[in-house]
């Protein structure tokens, strides 16, 4: 049974503005006591807005367009594996949270990640090739979006401690199923890692705490506003690009090996099939051509969407590569990709007239 009906956020995520995937420079404001003041304000005024789970089900948005729902289902269905679907859903959900925070004037985004969840997430991130982004994915504070800072205040408590607290004090909660609910352990990397950590925690109670303490030692350098303006952020997760490496690197070796494994030998039969699939009118032969080569004019028409791999980190490249078509992506992501591509071309044209940042003159 397909699980496209358990998406836990509205399909309006496809209509977000392009500013969601653009880091905004943080305004200078006093940071001392800002987090404590936000918590105190919630304790004083936030509990007035608390609603029961039954009331939350009644206030769910009912004005969801059917076409948006179908488009969102096509987007999730375009990912071939459950691993890519969960990673894509997590990214889109974070985009929606950031947009909601900006729309309501909030500067802090408090996430409910527990110590157990962060320990699992650390191993998942390593398995998905997000080693360079671990400090932002599992750290206490995440400032990749600039004006919106994501914090994880529950990271010092395990999932069992939180469950006991909710049971003892009758804290209302909402149980939200995920894509890998009631699936086998090997259904996805996320599901397999979660099963591995929880089973190991049963026999060795210090497993989660050991993994969690390791994540506390990770740090990352913050990107300046000029670096963010140069497009050195991932198009999806907005972390720093880890694909800008030297020629002699492990990443380049992996990419070259993958390219060679997918390269097809060009022979007379392949050239004939290329000519037959040409976009020219039937009966007029090939439309390509100088020097005896068979070049279809349809290749010149696929310039609207730039190569997204150059704008993404290694992990997001794997997610996009697993999709059947990138045209199922939300419109705001494709627009931002086109904007970055145009700025890159413009910068390449005026490169010889620009001054390097390292020059002292």
> What is the model's pLDDT at position 181?
83
> What is the model's pLDDT at position 331?
92
Collect all residues with Cβ–Cβ distance below 8 Å to 176 and sequence separation of at least 6. 8
Reported as a pLDDT band with limits 50, 70 and 90, residue 217 is confident
Query: What would the mean pLDDT of 161-176 be, rounded to a whole number?
Result: 89
Q: From CA 151, how far away is CA 139, in angstroms rounded? A: 8
For residue range 6-33, what is the model confidence (pLDDT) as tens digits? 445 566 788 888 888 888 776 555 455 6
Residue 271 has pLDDT above 80, yes or no: no
- Checking 56-65 for CB contacts under 8 A at 24+ apart, the result is 56/174, 61/10, 61/12, 64/10, 64/11, 64/12, 65/11
More confident call, 190 vs 253: 190
pTM for this predicted structure: 0.76
> What is the model's pLDDT at position 227?
47
Residue 156 has pLDDT above 80, yes or no: yes
Q: From CA 158, how far away is CA 202, in angstroms rounded? A: 13
> What is the model's pLDDT at position 283?
46
Q: Which domains does the chain have, with CATH numbers?
A: 11-29+64-222+234-252+295-349 (3.40.50)
Q: From CA 316, how far away is CA 310, in angstroms rounded? A: 11
> What is the model's pLDDT at position 329?
92
More confident call, 81 vs 33: 81
Q: From CA 29, how far away is CA 37, in angstroms rounded? A: 14
Query: What would the mean pLDDT of 223-227 be, rounded to a whole number?
Result: 49
Residue 301 has pLDDT above 90, yes or no: no
Residue 285 has pLDDT above 50, yes or no: no
Output the CA–CA distances (angstroms, integers) from residue 245 to 132, 207, 248, in the order listed. 12, 34, 8
CB 242 within 8 A of CB 313: yes
> What is the model's pLDDT at position 47?
59
Q: At 215, list the tokens.
A: 């994540």
> What is the model's pLDDT at position 68?
82
For residue range 39-68, what is the model confidence (pLDDT) as tens digits? 777 677 665 556 565 665 555 555 667 888
Strand partners, 142: 150
Q: From CA 103, how far away is CA 67, in angstroms rounded? A: 24
> What is the model's pLDDT at position 309?
82
More confident call, 353 vs 124: 124
More confident call, 245 vs 91: 91
Q: Given 3-state DSSP classes, what are the helix, strand and coil percentages for the chain, each rounded to the nearest 5?
A: 55, 5, 45
More confident call, 248 vs 335: 335
> What is the model's pLDDT at position 238?
92
Residue 294 has pLDDT above 90, yes or no: no
Q: What backbone phi and psi angles, to 5 degrees, belong to 44?
A: -85, -45
> What is the model's pLDDT at position 277?
47
Least confident of 36-40, 61-65, 67-71, 88-92: 61-65
Query: What would the mean pLDDT of 128-148 be, rounded to a whole number?
Result: 90
Residue 36 has pLDDT above 80, yes or no: no
Mean pLDDT value across the chain: 77
Residue 185 has pLDDT above 50, yes or no: yes
Residue 4 has pLDDT above 80, yes or no: no
């Amino acid at each position: 049974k397909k699980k496209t009906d358990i998406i836990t956020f509205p399909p309006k995520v496809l209509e977000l503005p392009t500013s969601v995937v653009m880091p905004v420079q943080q305004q200078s404001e006093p940071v001392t006591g800002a987090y404590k003041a936000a918590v105190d304000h919630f304790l004083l005024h936030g509990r007035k807005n608390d609603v029961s789970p039954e009331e939350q089900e009644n206030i769910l948005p009912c004005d969801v367009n059917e076409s948006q729902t179908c488009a969102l289902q096509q987007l999730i269905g375009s990912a071939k594996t459950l691993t890519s679907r969960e990673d894509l859903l997590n990214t889109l959900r974070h985009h929606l949270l950031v947009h909601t925070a900006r729309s309501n004037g909030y500067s802090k985004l408090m996430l409910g990640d527990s110590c157990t969840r962060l320990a699992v997430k650390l191993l998942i991130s390593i398995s998905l090739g997000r080693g360079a982004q671990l400090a932002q994915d599992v750290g206490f504070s995440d400032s990749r979006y600039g004006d919106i800072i994501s914090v994880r205040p529950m990271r010092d408590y395990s999932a069992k401690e939180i469950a006991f607290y909710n049971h003892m004090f009758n804290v209302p909660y909402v149980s939200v199923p995920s894509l890998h609910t009631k699936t086998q352990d090997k259904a996805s990397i996320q599901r397999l890692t979660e099963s591995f950590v929880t089973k190991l925690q049963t026999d060795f109670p210090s497993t989660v705490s050991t993994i969690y303490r390791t994540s506390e030692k990770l740090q990352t350098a913050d990107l300046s506003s000029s670096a963010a303006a140069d497009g050195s952020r991932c198009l999806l997760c907005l972390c720093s690009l880890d694909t800008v490496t030297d020629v002699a690197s492990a990443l380049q070796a992996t990419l070259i090996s993958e390219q060679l494994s997918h390269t097809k030998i060009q022979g007379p039969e392949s050239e004939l099939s290329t000519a037959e699939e040409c976009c020219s009118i039937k009966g007029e032969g090939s439309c390509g051509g100088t020097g005896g080569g068979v070049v279809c004019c349809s290749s010149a028409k696929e310039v609207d969407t730039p190569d997204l791999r150059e704008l993404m980190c290694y992990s997001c490249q794997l997610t996009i590569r697993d999709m059947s078509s990138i045209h199922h992506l939300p419109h705001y992501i494709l627009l931002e990709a086109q904007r970055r591509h145009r700025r890159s071309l413009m910068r390449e044209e005026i490169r010889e007239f620009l001054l390097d940042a390292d020059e002292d003159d």
